[in-house]
Amino acid sequence: MARTIRRKPTGVRRQARAQGTRQQVRKARAKTNSLVDALMRVLPFTEDQLHKFFLGVILLAAAVLAWFVASMAGLNALVAQKVAGIAVNSGFEVHNVEVRGIERLNELKVYDQVLGARERAMTQVDLDALRKAVKGLSWVEDARVSRQLPDTIVVDVVERTPHAVMRKPGRLVLIDATGHELEPISEANAKGMLLISGPGAQAQVEALGTLLDAAPALRPQVTQAEWVGNRRWNLTFRTGQVLALPQGPSEASGALINFARLDGVERLIGGKVVAFDMRTPPRIYMRCPECREDGKPPIEGGT
């Protein structure tokens, strides 16, 4: 016996909700279309131009994706090798290295850093890596590496300037004005140069230069500078006389300026006094052993 299945009629509320949803969708679409139309009227592009723009963006994204996939597959390296082979066959291969700006530095040290790039295609030479390697040499302050086609690498070097000699345990080292070590130096070759000593003195080389600049008339007379107690300087003049300066940059420069003024009036450098102590400014204490031999009382203090 056949049985008839009757479906329940859709309720009035459900129909009302569905109709309301359709109306909201229609309103949203109308608003979106009107917004797009308004935007199209404002922008200086036609609809066809915008289609082409978005097509270009899609193609660019596809190209980037293809490059990424090729990189993962190692195709870039293969392409680079092919390009390098073409460059070599065309004569663009490193055969010569030209070094400029060398005066004191051993030129062979520069060649040692660059020779690894010889017999290579110019397209494979990493100029930044070569520059970094050359700058790693002790005498090199700065460097510029460039290609000179078809087959030459040019290295322009800015050398550091030797400034003084640093006394270290068992050896002497040539340094520049910043305290950077250049190379070991013998006692004979160190003669006539400013000798700096004392624990921690290497970090104070620039400060010492500023101090000596405060009294330029005295600077040529200073042959040694000892950093004492990691806080102050003792200066030795060409005459062997020693000047003890106070602690602190401003105090030391002030004392040195006062000493230069006194020396200009009293001719202290080259006299009988062997040591000057200005650690308690504004007073200056002087030690004079010869004064005892002359039967005169030693000079122990003064202003």
Question: Does 229 map to a domain?
Answer: yes
Residue-wise pLDDT for 35-92, tens only, equals 555 655 655 656 666 666 666 777 777 777 766 666 655 555 554 454 444 444 444 6
- In the listed set 159, 177, 198, which residue is the last one of a domain according to the structure? 159
Q: Are residues 150 and 204 in the same domain?
A: no
Is 182 found in the same domain as 150? no
- State which residues of the chain have pLDDT below 70: 1-55, 66-92, 116-119, 291-303
* Residue at 299 is within a domain: no
Residues 205 and 142 in one domain: no
Within this chain, do residues 284 and 194 fall inside the same structural domain, yes or no? Answer: yes
Same domain, 168 and 222: yes
How many other β-carbons are positioned within 10 Å of the β-carbon of residue 71? 11
Q: Per the domain annotation, does 225 fall within a domain?
A: yes
6 inside domain: no
- What local confidence, expressed as pLDDT, does residue 71 receive? 64
User: Has residue 45 been placed in a domain?
Assistant: no
Shared domain check, 243 and 226? yes
Query: Which CATH number covers residue 228?
Result: 3.40.50.11690
Q: What's the pTM?
A: 0.65
Nearest Cα residue to 161 out of 213, 98, 79, 105: 105
Residue 154 and residue 171 share a domain? no
In this predicted structure, what is the pLDDT of residue 112? 85
> Residue 195's beta-bridge partner residues?
165, 224
- 149 in any annotated domain: yes
Q: How many CB atoms lie within 10 A of CB 151?
A: 14
What total of structural domains would you count in the chain? 2
CATH code assigned at 131: 3.10.20.310
pLDDT digits (tens, 9 = 90+) for 9-31: 555 556 656 566 666 656 555 55
Per-residue pLDDT at 64: 77
Full residue range of the structural domain in which residue 207 is found: 164-293
Q: Does residue 147 share a domain with residue 180?
A: no
The single-letter code of the amino acid at 242 is: V
Task: Give the domain-ending residue among 124, 141, 159.
Answer: 159
The verdict on 114 and 170 lying in the same domain is: no
Query: Which residues, in sequence order, are bridge partners of residue 237?
Result: 222
Domain assignment present for residue 196? The answer is: yes
Three-class secondary structure assignment of 121-134: EHHHCCHHHHHHHH
In a domain, 49, yes or no: no
Type of residue at 290: E
- Same domain for 280 and 169: yes
- 94, 151 Cβ separation under 8 angstroms: yes
Domain boundary among 123, 142, 159: 159
Task: State the pLDDT at residue 35.
Answer: 54
pLDDT the model gives residue 87: 44
